[in-house]
Amino acid sequence: MTETIRKDIPESVLERMEQLKKHGKEVPDLSLIKTPEQIEGIREAGKINTAVLDEVAKHIHAGMSTQEIDNIVKEFTHAHDAVCAPYKYEGFPKHVCTSINEEVCHGIPSRLRKLHDGDIINVDVTTIYKGYYADASRMFMIGDVSHARKKLTEETKKCLEIGIAAAQPWATVGDIGYAISKYAHSLGYGVVRELGGHGVGNDFHEDPFISHIGKKGTGMVLVPGMVFTIEPMINAGKAGVVIDRYNGWTIYTSDGSDSAQWEHTILITETGNEILTY
């Protein structure tokens, strides 16, 4: 591993990876450590991705359809010479995911689905710019939202922040999941297990899988240069989920309780981490 096959990776990082591997730790393949050029490309994609969500934030309101959100995302992305990664990805029919209330993720925009006063909605955007991918999602509270929905939305954002704080160089994937699940469970919430964060940058979904349930000190070691998403899906009720048997995409809470999700793409650095999308 310490051979000069990647001159962009500091020798100290390669040596530490080698030592950890000898002690039985799971270290990433060098292909998962982004080059400076790749990091800059992902950072630029992240700027557009953040701007897309900012544009959605300007216009989202009760009475609009989720198809209108899709239109905003498509038009703004294309105007910035970028591509909406979800469109046609494994057959997904739209440019963005819009998941309302009990929908956990992968909600499909529709002109028939309207936003109502009191709804909470997750808008999940992934942008490709010059071949590089960036991914983020935000929750939006529509009109007069109940205390329970407001609390779920805010506490889920706190879960994301806690997960990012745990994502330090030479920590592990398990540390992230442990920190998130400990906090969410203390509030009586369920943490979705079947879906999680993922490596991103050169492709839509890369290794490692970032579970939001975990045990300290387990899983892949987080090495400077890794880029991945943290995106806790927190249910007000039980953790179980089901998939829409008709469209094959939308994930719902199994008990009909509300769900919330926030997502950032982050870069592990030698001194901490950098958030690349908001």
| Token representation of residue 48 | 């557009």
Listed in sequence order, the DSSP H helices in the chain are 11-22, 36-59, 66-79, 147-166, 173-186
17 sits in the region (left: phi over 0; alpha: psi -120 to 50; else beta) called alpha
- Give long-range contacts, CB 8 A cutoff, 24+ apart: 56-64: 56/123, 56/125, 56/138, 56/140, 57/138, 57/140, 60/115, 60/121, 60/123, 60/140, 60/142, 61/115, 61/142, 62/115, 62/116, 62/117, 62/119, 62/142, 62/143, 63/114, 63/115, 64/114, 64/115
With a cut of 70, list the residues of the chain below it in pLDDT. Answer: 1-4
| Partner residues linked to 99 by β-bridges | 122
Residue 60: the pLDDT is: 98
Tell me the pairing of strands 206-210 and 197-199: antiparallel
Angle between helices 66-79 and 36-59 (to 10 degrees): 140
Cis peptide before 208 (omega within 30 of 0): yes
- Which stretch of DSSP H or E encloses residue 273? strand 273-275
* Domains assigned to the chain: 32-275 (3.90.230.10)
Among all chains, which residue has been given the structure tokens 């950890």?
20
pTM of the model: 0.96
Among all chains, which residue has been given the structure tokens 């591997």?
21
Amino acid type, 170: W
Residue 2: the pLDDT is: 40
pLDDT tens-place string over residues 224-258: 999 999 999 999 999 999 999 999 999 999 999 99
Residue 9: the pLDDT is: 96
